[in-house]
Amino acid sequence: MSQAEIRVAVLGARGRMGTEAVSAVDGAEDMELVARLGRSDSLDLVRESGATHIVDLSVPDATEENVRFAVEHGIHAVVGTTGWDDERLGRLQALLAQHPDTGVLIAPNFALGSVLATAFAAKAARYFESAEIIELHHPDKVDAPSGTAARTAQLMGRARREAGVAPSPDATTQDPDGARGATVEDVHVHAVRLRGLVAHQEVLLGSAGEQLTLRHDSFDRASFMPGVLLGLRTVASRPGLTHGLDGYLDLGL
Ligand SMILES: NC(=O)C1=CN([C@@H]2O[C@H](COP(=O)(O)OP(=O)(O)OC[C@H]3O[C@@H](n4cnc5c(N)ncnc54)[C@H](O)[C@@H]3O)[C@@H](O)[C@H]2O)C=CC1
Ligand SMILES: O=C(O)C1=N[C@H](C(=O)O)C[C@H](O)C1
């Protein structure tokens, strides 16, 4: 049997997303699952397995080291793990400059509906006086706000600033318990953690007398798998850093 061109090591393979990704890669005819790594496995297993690609679905504390290892060994990386702030992205870009044939996709969300909702929100943000985000997740999530909400707020805030739109009006002067939530690029972000939820987000845009709500729901982690597979099939042909699955889609926005 000839070897598949896409030989995949899954990092975080025993987690909620990792388990799902292992099944998705295993079921893809053009891919071979060559390694499954957990918290206590050595990254050397990735190299020894002959992996051409990693999928990182681990934890924010581990993801940068995992991706650095892959890039240093010329292995393409598809990354769903959160925690990629500007500082980390900057270090990754500097590393990729030394490995110009290697591709990395940092995808805050692999679900197509979520990618579209974020793109629509970024497009719409400049046209409304007020803009806020509510993200809602399962209570086992370790980070808040979610990576998707942080990225959505960043893109919305940037678009509003570039268009010369003032921050959302807010007369609050008394908020000892932080009820107004986090502020990312001048956009307030509220995080709900509730048993029964998977991953959900609402972007609220308001002006006098009207509201636009953009809501996306992932009811099942199966929603993320087409994006993971698209990332794996595309990343080698896109050397350097791509931030967001929209970089691989022709959204025409
Ligand atoms: N981009 C996307 O579409 C999505 C991203 N996520 C993100 O993916 C990450 C994982 O989420 P879940 O699967 O829900 O978490 P989880 O806690 O179920 O799984 C994480 C797994 O990583 C393992 N791990 C810890 N350190 C590791 C290391 N150094 N190397 C390899 N594995 C290690 C843990 O033991 C655990 O099994 C989170 O950052 C989450 O926000 C989750 C869902 C969708
Ligand atoms: O931890 C999760 O579950 C999710 N994490 C990602 C995030 O933080 O945005 C993607 C999705 O929201 C699910």
Q: Which of 58, 61, 69, 230 to mutate to test the pocket of ligand 1 (most atoms within 8 A of CB)?
A: 58
Q: What pLDDT is stored for residue 229 in this prediction?
A: 98
Q: For residue 12, how far is its CA from the centre of ligand 1 (angstroms)?
A: 5
Distance 18 CA to ligand 1 centre (A): 7
Nearest CA to ligand 1 atom 30: 39
The domain limits of the chain are 6-106+221-248, 112-218
List Cβ neighbours of 107 (8 Å cut-off, separation of 6 or more): 78, 79, 80, 227, 231, 244, 245
CB of 236 closer than 6 angstroms to any ligand 1 atom: no
Tens of pLDDT, residue by residue, the chain (253 residues): 456 799 999 999 999 999 999 999 999 999 999 999 999 999 999 999 999 999 999 999 999 999 999 999 999 999 999 999 999 999 999 999 999 999 999 999 999 999 999 999 999 999 999 999 999 999 999 999 999 999 999 999 999 999 999 999 999 999 999 999 999 999 999 999 999 999 999 999 999 999 999 999 999 999 999 999 999 999 999 999 999 999 999 888 7
Is 81 within any annotated ligand binding site?
yes
Q: With residue 94 as reference, give the H or E element that holds it.
A: helix 86-97
Q: What is the pLDDT of residue 4?
A: 73
Nearest residue to 43 (alpha-carbon basis) of 17, 71, 1, 84: 71
Cα of 38 from ligand 1 centre, angstroms: 10
Is 123 tagged catalytic? no
State yes or no: ipTM above 0.85. Answer: yes
How many angstroms does the Cα of residue 101 sit away from the middle of ligand 1? 27
CATH code of domain 112-218? 3.30.360.10
Answer yes or no: is 39 a known binding residue: yes
pLDDT computed for residue 1 by the predictor: 42
Give the C-alpha separation, 251 to 83, whole Å: 25
Residues 8/51, Cβ–Cβ less than 8 Å: yes
User: Is domain 6-106+221-248 in CATH 3.40.50.720, yes or no?
Assistant: yes
Which ligand 2 atom is nearest residue 82's CA?
8
DSSP sequence for 35-92: EEE-TTS-THHHHHTT-SEEEE-S-HHHHHHHHHHHHHTT-EEEE--S---HHHHHHH
Catalytic residue, candidates 73, 99, 123, 141: 141
Give the residue, by CA position, lying nearest to ligand 1 atom 16: 15
16 is in an annotated binding site: yes
- The answer to whether 80 is annotated as binding is yes
Q: Is 224 in the pocket of ligand 1 (CB under 6 A)?
A: yes
Give me the catalytic one of 53, 137, 188, 190: 137
CB 107 within 8 A of CB 231: yes
Torsion of CA 181, 124, 158, 199, to 10 degrees: 50
**pTM across the whole model:** 0.97
CB atoms within 10 A of CB 247: 16
